[in-house]
Amino acid sequence: MIEVIKNLCLGIVLAPLAAALIAGLLGKVIGRKGAHSITILGVLIAFILSLFIFNYTVLDNFGPFNFNLYTWVHSGSYKFHVGFLVDNLSATMILLVTFVSLLVHVYSIGYMADDPDYQRFFAYMSAFTFAMLMLVLANNFATLFFGWEGVGLISYLLIGFWFTKPTAAFGSLKAFIANRVGDMGMILGIAAILTYFNSLSYKVVFAHKAILLNQTIMLIPGLHWQAATVTCILLFIGAMGKSAQMPLHVWLPESMEGPTPISAMIHAATMVTAGVYMVARFSPLFEMSQVALSVVLVIGATTCLFCGLLGIFQNDIKRVIAYSTLSQLGYMMAGVGASAFSAGMFHLFTHGCFKALLFLAAGSVIVANHHNQDMRKMGGLYRYMPITYVTFLIGALALSAIPPFAGFYSKDTIIDAVKVSTIPGATYAYACVLLGALVTALYTFRAFFLTFHGENNVPAEIKAHLRESPWVMTVPLILLAIPSVLLGFVLIKPMIYTVPGLLGGSLTVVPQFNVIAMMMPDFHGALAMALHAGMTLPFWLAVAGIVLAWYFTLKNPGVAVVLKQRFAFVYWIMINKYGFDDFNQIVLVRGTRRIGAILLNWFDMSFIDGFLVNGSGRLIGWASKIMRHLQTGYLYHYAFAMIIGLFVFVGWRLL
C-alpha cells in the first residue's frame, strides 16, 4: 500500500508541475488552447488522484503514511529529505486545493480570453498549485519551507501579472516583502527546531516534543522564556505573513491588482490558508505553550474584527471580498488559538468553497462591466446576470453564517469554542468574533445590494452589452455553490463532534484546552443546530447586519452620507486603514531609503570612496612625489645618504 500511496503522491505534485513547465516553456508551440488544456489536465489528474488518497486515508482508514523520497542535502550529522506525510489532515487539504484550483483553471478560460499573455498565466497558475501541494504534503520542515517559499514567489508573479500597471507592480512587491518579514520568523523557528531536535522530521519532532519542556531561552538578559513558547511564536510569525494577520495583513488587499482568478486562488484554498494549516499541523507543539496559543487567539480575533470593519468602507467589489478574507482568516486563527484546531480547519474548508465562489462571481460581474470594479457604477445587475446573482447570493449567505449554509456551521463552531475557552485573552477574543458576525453580514450584503439591486448606474455604452458570462465561467460558479450550501451540514458531525473525527489523529489537543469536548454535550445534530440558530446571538447579529446593509444602501442611502460627515474622523481612520499603510510608507519605506541615502553619501562615497580608496591613492601619490626628489642621480647624494644612515645605525646601537 505504501508504494501505491507514494506513486499517487508523486502524480499529484508532478502533474501540475509538468503542465506548468510545458505551458511556460512551449507556450508559443502549443498555443492558447494547448496551454489551458495541458494545465487543466494536470490539475484534473491531481484532483482525481487526491480522491484516491482521500478514500484510502480517510474513508478506508489505511493511513497515515509517512515516507521519504530522497535525501535532499546531507551536511555533517544533518540530513534533509524530500518526503510526504499522508494523513487525514493532508488528504482532506489536497482535495480542497485541487478542487478549487481545477474550477479556477476552467473559469480562467473565459476570464483571460483576451489577454495576450494567456499561456504565461496558466503556467503560473499550475506552478502555484504545485507549490501549495508540496507545502501540504510535506513530512518535514525543509520540504514545508520549499512549498512555503514557492507559493510566496509565484504569488509575486501572479499579483504582478499585469506588470506594466504601476499598481500591480507595487502590489506584488508589497506582498513579497511583507511575506519575507513573516518568513524571517519562520526561518528562526525552524532553526530552533533543528537546534533542539537535531532533525526536521515531523515524526521525530512530535515524538520528542518533551525536550522543549525543560529548555529556556534568554532573549533579554535576565529574562528566560520557555523554548516551546519562543519556537511556536516564531513559527506563528511566519503564519502571520502568509495568512495576513495584523500587522502583516497589509499585502492582501494589494493582491487584488492581479487577475480575479488569481484572487480566488490566493484567497480561497491556497496561499492564505497555509498559515492556518501550519498551526494546525504543529498542534502538538502549540499545545505545549498556553502563551503561544493566547498570542494566536488574540491576534486572530483582532484581525477578524478590525479588518472586517475596513470592508464596510470599500467601494471596489474585489477589495470588499479581500477584507472579508482577512476577517475570515482571523476567525480561523481564533479557532486554532482556542485549541479548536478541527473547528479552524472546518472553517478553512467551507471558506475555501464560498470565498472562491464570491471571487469568481465578482469576476463575472467585472467582465460584464468591462473590468469596472466600482460598485457605485453598478446596480440592478440581477436582471442581466441571473446565474451570477444567485451564486453570489449563496456565497454571501454562507459568508454571513446564515443557516443552513456552510459558513453557519463552521463560523458558529469557532464562536462557541472561543466562548468556552479559558485561555488568557479569550474574553476579548469572544467579543471580537461575536461583533465580527454583525460586521461580516454588513459589508457582504452592502456589496450584494450595491451590485445587484437598486438603481442601475452602469454607463450606457456598457449597459448595451450587459449579459451573463459564458458557460466556462458560470459552470464553476454552480459547482462551487453546491458545497457552499451543503458542506457545513455534511461535515459538522464527522469533523467536529465525532471522536477521533474526520481529521483522525492528525491534530493534538491536551485535555485542559479541549473546548470541543466541552461543547459536545450540547450538539444534537446538524439539523437541530440550524433550527436552534434563532435562539443564538451570532445569528441575530448576522440578520441585523443584513438589515443595516439594506437600509443604508437601498432604503435610505442618505443616512450613510450624514454619518460619514458627522463621524468624519472615524471615516478618515477607516479610509486610511488605521494608518498601517502610511506608517509602512513613511516610516519603513521612506525611512530606510533615507538611511540608505545617508549611508551612500557619507559612508560609501565620502568615507569608503573618498577617504579609504581615493585617500589612499592620494597618500601614495603624495609620498611618491616626496620620494621622487630623493632620486637625483648624483653619486655624492647617495654617498651622503649612506653616511647619514650609517651614523644613525651606529648611534642607535650605542644607545
Report the predicted TM-score, pTM, of the whole model to 2 decimal places: 0.88
Answer yes or no: is pLDDT of 515 > 80.
yes
Regarding whether 520 and 382 lie in a shared domain, the answer is: yes
Helix (H, G, I), strand (E, B) or coil at 254: helix
Regarding whether 449 and 307 lie in a shared domain, the answer is: yes
pLDDT for position 601: 79
pLDDT for position 62: 81
Regarding whether 417 and 350 lie in a shared domain, the answer is: yes
Regarding whether 144 and 60 lie in a shared domain, the answer is: no
pLDDT for position 647: 84
- Under the banding of pLDDT at 50, 70 and 90, the label for residue 655 is low
Regarding whether 198 and 94 lie in a shared domain, the answer is: no
Regarding whether 569 and 472 lie in a shared domain, the answer is: yes
Regarding whether 526 and 602 lie in a shared domain, the answer is: no
Answer yes or no: is pLDDT of 440 > 70.
yes
Phi/psi at 82 (nearest 5 deg)? Answer: -100, 115
527-579 confidence digits (pLDDT tens): 999 999 889 999 999 999 999 999 988 888 888 888 888 888 888 888 888 88
188-235 confidence digits (pLDDT tens): 999 999 988 888 899 999 988 888 888 888 777 777 788 889 999 999
Average pLDDT for 309-321: 89
Cell 503561544 -> residue: 292
Answer yes or no: is pLDDT of 448 > 70.
yes
C-alpha–C-alpha distance, residues 14 and 8, integer Å? 10
List the grid coordinates of 606.
565620502
Regarding whether 333 and 240 lie in a shared domain, the answer is: yes
Out of 516, 547, 575, a domain closes at 575
Q: How many H helices and E strands in the chain?
A: 29, 4
- pLDDT over 70, % of the chain: 99
C-alpha–C-alpha distance, residues 558 and 566, integer Å? 12
Where are the alpha helices (H) located in 160-289, listed in sequence order?
A: 166-197, 202-207, 227-242, 251-254, 260-268, 274-281, 283-286
Helix (H, G, I), strand (E, B) or coil at 400: coil
- Under the banding of pLDDT at 50, 70 and 90, the label for residue 21 is very high
Helix 274-281 and helix 317-337: axis angle, to 10°?
10
Q: Which DSSP category does 536 fall into?
A: S
More confident residue, 539 or 637: 539
- pLDDT over 90, % of the chain: 35
Average pLDDT for 335-348: 91
- Under the banding of pLDDT at 50, 70 and 90, the label for residue 464 is confident
Helix (H, G, I), strand (E, B) or coil at 225: strand
Helix (H, G, I), strand (E, B) or coil at 67: strand
Regarding whether 585 and 550 lie in a shared domain, the answer is: no
Cell 471522536 -> residue: 499
First CA to last CA distance, the chain: 93
Average pLDDT for 58-86: 83
Between the alpha carbon of residue 590 and those of residues 165, 448, 581, 646, the distances in Å are 22, 39, 12, 65
Average pLDDT, the chain: 87
Regarding whether 598 and 471 lie in a shared domain, the answer is: no
- Under the banding of pLDDT at 50, 70 and 90, the label for residue 429 is very high
pLDDT for position 643: 84
CB 408 within 8 A of CB 492: no
Q: Which domain holds residue 121?
A: 1-139
Q: Which residues pair with 71 in a beta bridge?
A: 81
Task: Return the CA Rg of the chain.
Answer: 30
- Under the banding of pLDDT at 50, 70 and 90, the label for residue 466 is confident
Q: What is the DSSP string of 100-162?
A: HHHHHHHHHHHHTTT-TTHHHHHHHHHHHHHHHHHHHHBSBHHHHHHHHHHHHHHHHHHHTSS
C-alpha–C-alpha distance, residues 536 and 527, integer Å? 15
Regarding whether 194 and 166 lie in a shared domain, the answer is: yes
The amino acid at residue 224 is H
Helix 166-197 and helix 141-159: axis angle, to 10°?
170
Average pLDDT for 493-522: 87
How many domains in the chain?
3
pLDDT for position 383: 87
Regarding whether 148 and 125 lie in a shared domain, the answer is: no
Average pLDDT for 307-319: 89
Average pLDDT for 132-161: 90
Average pLDDT for 140-147: 91
Average pLDDT for 132-160: 90
pLDDT for position 473: 86
Out of 575, 603, 632, a domain closes at 575
CB 16 within 8 A of CB 129: yes
Low-confidence winner among 15-24, 295-304, 482-491, 612-621 (lowest mean pLDDT) = 612-621
Out of 139, 163, 182, a domain closes at 139
pLDDT for position 328: 92
364-397 confidence digits (pLDDT tens): 888 888 888 888 888 888 888 899 999 999 999 9
Average pLDDT for 626-641: 74
